[in-house]
Structure 1
C-alpha cells in the first residue's frame, strides 16, 4: 500500500475502510451493521450510548434518581451514531483521516452509471457465490470499471483501486447490509500491510 501513506497496522487499514464506509451511510440497518462491525474491531463506539447501562434510572425533579426505566426507553429510540476511535498519536490519526478523505474524493469522481452497474454486478455475483470467491469477484469488477473510467490517470492508481473497491463494497452493503462483515473482511485481507509485503 505504498501510495496510501504510512498505514503500518491492519488496525489503521480497518479504520480507513470503516471511515469510508460510514460516510453518508444510508439505511438504519446499514448503520447498525457498521456499528456492530466497528465495535467488534474496537474502532467505534456508540456516542448516543444505546444499549444497557448499569444503574440507569429516572431523574426526579428534586435531583434524585429512581429505579424506573423511562430514560433507557427514551434513549433506545435514538439511532446509533458512530464515532471512530482514531489512533492516539495525533500525526498518525491525521494521516489515517487524510487517507480516508482522499479516497472519498476519488470515489466522488467515478461516473455514477458505471459504478451503479458494477455494484449491481458485484451484488449479483457474490450473492450466488461462496465468500471464498468474493475477492475474485471484487477484483474482476474493479478491473472492469478501471478500464472504463477515463480521467483518473493523473491520480495514484493504487488509491483509485482502493477507492473504487470501497465504493462498490459500500454500494452492495447499503443494499444488503448483512454482507458487510464478510465484504469488510475481504477488503481488509486484500489491502492490509501484512498482505502487501
Structure 2
C-alpha cells in the first residue's frame, strides 16, 4: 500500500505494509484524506530547515535541552540522538474518511462495511489503509458525504477552540486581526 511521509523537508510516497490491527481499533480503507493548507504545509516547511536554523529558532530552550541530554547521556549519545531525530521519517495526515475493512475484537458499534470519518495524527494518515483507535472514528450515515467528512478533524479543532475560549452555542464572537 502507499503512504505519504515527510523526510528532511520533502514529501515522499513510500510502499509500506498494511498496518496491523489491534484489539481496540478499526482498519479503514481510505477514500479521502484531507490536506490542511495550514498545519501540514507549516510542518513540511519546518522540516526542511537546516539543523542550525532549527536550533537558532528557539535557541535558549534548545541549549537547555542539549546540555541536559549531554549531562544525562554523554556527548556521543546526545549527538547520535540528534542525528537520529533529523533522519526520522514522519507520516503525514490527521483527518480522513473511508470504509471499515476489519474490526478489533474489543470494538463495539463498528462493523465491516461501515463508512467512517477518522481523526488523529499518527492514525488518520495519508495512506491507502489506516488503523484508527475506536475513539478517533465516527460513523458516517450518508456515504455520499464521504469527501466532506474527511475534514471532520478540522471542525473538531475549531469546536475545541471555541470550547477553550469559554464560548457557547449562539454566542457572538468578534475575531480581530492582531496586526490591526
Q: Same fold (TM over 0.5)?
A: no
TM-score range, shorter chain: under 0.3
Higher helix share: 1
TM normalised by structure 2 equals: 0.23
